[in-house]
Chains A and B, each alone.
Chain A
Amino acid sequence: MSKVTFSVNGASRELELDTRTTLLDALREHLHLTGTKKGCDHGQCGACTVIVEGRRINSCLTLAVMHQGDSITTIEGLGTPANLHPMQAAFVKHDGFQCGYCTPGQICSAVAVLGEIKAGIPSHVSADLTAQPELTAAELRERMSGNICRCGAYSNIVDAITEVAGGKA
């Protein structure tokens, strides 16, 4: 067992955990924040995506004890049913989901993707490495490739993200 303290959605949480506990299991099983989903549990599907220290990561592929002092945002911290985050509202408006299982990961990823584009981080499809990346569907699809949607809501997800980014869907 090992002690770890981190901040989740603005509140400090102290846990005593088996060292094997992933951040995903700490959030779901110990803090009962079940918005973050377990899909493949191997970093391939993106359902477990959360934002740690401002960056999106797969919470299934990191140990909770490795996050001493970190600030973690889950889907519960982005918005509430009464006060949706703009990305949540856009997913609803554009039908960016069907079954909804991958959606919390998609939304956390999408929020972070817009931050990455704003920060000038290039992607595989950026034509010019040294230019500010453009907000195109091709860019969004490439950047969101770590989030899989079995229902195939991809085109609506792109529309939702595009609207939040201020572009034309």
Chain B
Amino acid sequence: MKSFTYERAHSPAAAAAAAARTQGAKFIAGGTNLLDLMKLEIETPAHLIDVNGLALDKIETTAEGGLRIGALVRNTDLAADARVRRDYGLLSRALLAGASGQLRNKATTAGNLLQRTRCPYFYDTNQPCNKRQPGSGCAAIGGFSRQHAVLGASEACIATHPSDMAVAMIALDATVETVRPDGTTRSIPIAAFHRLPGDTPQVETALSPGEFITAVTLPKPVGGTHIYHKVRDRASYAFALISVGVIVQRDGTGRVVLGGVAHKPWRVAGADAEMPRGAKAVTERLLSGAKPTRENAFKLPLVERTLGAVLRQARS
């Protein structure tokens, strides 16, 4: 690990200002992704700003009847919150499908959104990777690509976003609240938060330099049946091959978001509109324009079958 200096932040705005002021600074909260990457010298921050002391670990009810989830609320606490379990079951289910008990006890809400979009070639520092070293090339293209993206990929990167939580946040129309180094705040709709790789795969979110997430808000509950179905190589503690998150209403309308298929969770407005017509119609819209490799072409029929199973479960 490269050496770094360390400070504890005293307010969100001061943390953002310090990050903008200090060359090579990064925030650290749970640290479960950042420290893993620092040990491999894939991440090499010169300065760490520890934000764990900031009082951003509460889940509050909003005036609109939704929830405001502090940036530092741990994954375990968010999944176990009685309001989340009752009204946003998809979010609890997605969180509980991710990582291990130990990691969920540390990992935070904002940190989960900010974990790197990554693939095995990103981890292998002997291989070219446009995300790790912009302009060096992509070893995954033409390499072993079973886990990789089938939608929204580019000539520069075919990695997938690993977060289960983010799939649920997209389905729930969450909003990311931030503070910028000049002290101003803004709200970013979650659908606009993560980016497709394009020719700058190293830029993964809409955040500007130093911008700090303070909370994630959820609109008031929409009801319906919430199901998160993750398909993976092991029964527990593994990334998704694909995942399907749905909210289905009694009349068959609803929302659907896919994980494990692209550089960000995948939601298509036209696909939601097809929900009453069933899995085949929805999948056609969701996977429109898909460009699988020979090794991950199995993901396309897997999406349709999984969605079919999920919709049958929702009806029963």
Contacts and interface: CB of A to CB of B under 8 A. Distances in A.
Contacts of B50: 65-66
Nearest to A145: B236
B236 A142 contact: yes
Nearest to A67: B52
Contact of A62 (B8, B31, B97, B101): B31
A43 B79 contact: no
A146 B4 CA distance: 29
A46 B6 contact: no
B32 interface: yes
A142 B100 CA distance: 9
A61 B36 contact: yes
A31 interface: no
A121 interface: yes
Interface stretch (B102-110, B136-144, B167-175, B290-298): B102-110
Interface stretch (A5-13, A89-97, A123-131): A123-131
A121 B79 contact: yes
B39 to A, nearest CB: 7
B86 interface: yes
B3 interface: yes
A46 B76 contact: no
Interface stretch (B19-27, B88-96, B301-309): B88-96
Contacts of A119: 80
A129 to B, nearest CB: 4
Interface in A116-143: 116, 119-124, 126, 129-130, 141-143
A113 interface: yes
Interface in B1-48: 1, 3-6, 8, 28, 31-32, 35-36, 39, 48
Contacts of A65: 6, 50
Contacts of A49: 102
Given A122-B79, A145-B237, A146-B102, A22 B6 contact: no
B86 A130 contact: yes
Nearest to A148: B237
B95 to A, nearest CB: 9
Contacts of B106: 57-58, 61-62
A19 B86 CA distance: 42
Contact of B35 (A18, A22, A116, A129): A22
A19 B3 contact: yes
A146 B85 contact: no
B105 A57 contact: yes
Counting chain A residues whose Cβ lies within 8 A of the other chain, the interface size class is: 35 or more
A56 B228 CA distance: 26
A145 B100 contact: yes
Contacts of A68: 8
A124 B32 CA distance: 20
B102 A121 contact: no
A55 interface: yes
Contacts of B5: 19
A130 B86 CA distance: 7
A20 B237 CA distance: 27
Given A19-B5, A122-B79, A66 B52 contact: yes
Given A19-B5, A56-B101, A129-B93, 11 more contacts: A19-B48, A55-B105, A56-B102, A57-B102, A62-B31, A65-B6, A66-B52, A124-B93, A145-B101, A146-B99, A146-B102
Interface of B: 1, 3-6, 8, 28, 31-32, 35-36, 39, 48, 50, 52, 76, 79-80, 82, 85-86, 89, 92-93, 96-97, 99-103, 105-106, 235-237
5 contacts: A62-B35, A63-B6, A124-B96, A126-B96, A142-B235
